[in-house]
Amino acid sequence: MVDSCIFCRIASSTIPSHRIYEDAKVFAFLDKYPLAKGHILIIPKKHVANIDDLSEEDAQAIFAVLFKLTKAVHKGLKTDSTTIGVNNGPHSGQEISHLHLHIVPRFAGDGGGPIHAVMPIRPKVSENEMNEIAEKIRGNLSA
């Protein structure tokens, strides 16, 4: 736990929250400033800034909880849609330097749009650039 991290303090119950789920590795709670009613944040209990800092075991744990909670949101809130989001690093819009995944319940006519609608950056990328980019990423995959 990092004493200055609000999410670490929430996970340790130093700060109260509306807990939705907890196990040895993961904590999930309602967002205090929701984008929709039922907006959930899922965090690893271990302080990590972003996905790159997760161990494979912790990544599996957090995404298993995402899978479980998405189903619970659909059933519990009577919606068949959710927006799943992760701002991974400060330049992506991550405001708190503790990894967190968002589950935002979505309803017909709620006025929200696709995640692409909020991204002002839509560069034109040639086929050659796409090939180069794909190769750079594939060349850095590790087991």
What whole-number distance in Å separates Cα of residue 85 and Cα of residue 40?
Answer: 11
Annotated catalytic residue within 47, 100, 102, 116: 100
**Domains of the chain, residue spans:** 6-138
Q: What is the pLDDT of residues 56-96, one digit of tens each?
A: 999 999 999 999 999 999 999 999 799 999 999 999 999 99
pLDDT at residue number 119: 62
CA dist., res. 104 & res. 40, Å (int):
7
Cα 62 from Cα 44, distance rounded (Å): 7
User: What does pTM read for this prediction?
Assistant: 0.89
The mean pLDDT of the chain is: 91
pLDDT level of residue 118 (50, 70, 90 thresholds): low
Rg (CA), the chain: 17
Eight-state DSSP code of residue 124: -
Q: Hey, what amino acid is at 127?
A: E
Place of tokens 């995402």: 66
Bridge-partner residues for 43, per DSSP?
27
Q: Is 100 a catalytic residue?
A: yes
CATH class for the region spanning 6-138: alpha beta
